[in-house]
Amino acid sequence: MQSTTILTVTKDAEWLIGMRPFLHATGRGRLVVAESIEEAERLLEFARPRLIVVDWKREDGSFDAITSLLWKNSIQGRPASVMIVAEDYRVDEATLLFQLGVDEYVGKCEHGEAMATVLVALTPETNGWSLPVWAHEYAGEDSIRQAEPAAKLGSIATAL
């Protein structure tokens, strides 16, 4: 498995510690932490992340800033997947963020058990492949769906 760079956006060290097991589920990698969306935007071209995870605090969450980050990410040679982690899931907010181009929007309360699965699915180096054995302990065996490469699925996968 190749090394993955994950750019996280948070001012909250406790949030980062809480996310650590889920971030480790994506495999080996480099973690770059930005304290603001503006700082993350400046780091994009140098860090070259494959995944951006934003701690979405509604009082801090500027839609103008996230729009700018998403645009800057979209013009990179290899755009990163973007995941927004809110404390609780709001449909109106999710709809707007998806329209802006976010790849995934989750609420920690609602999606906590599936967080590792979502992160692994968004990580290009692990996308489409089975999770590492140790990743199962973070999300629970039943909540992780083992994905297989198309070649292992047979002719039906290639026909689709």
Domains of the chain: 4-159 (3.40.50.2300)
pLDDT at position 91 over 80: yes
CA distance 137 to 143: 10
Residue 6 in tokens:
């994950």
pLDDT category at 107 given cuts 50, 70, 90 is confident
Cα distances (angstroms) measured from residue 155 to each of 128, 151, 160: 16, 8, 9
pLDDT category at 131 given cuts 50, 70, 90 is very low
pTM (global) more than 0.85: no
CA distance 38 to 44: 10
pLDDT at position 146 over 60: no
**Residue 114 CB burial class (10 angstroms; 0-12, 13-18, ≥19):** middle
For CA atoms 24, 80, 118, 39, the dihedral sign is positive
Convert the pLDDT of each residue in 12-28 to its tens digit. Answer: 898 888 888 777 777 76
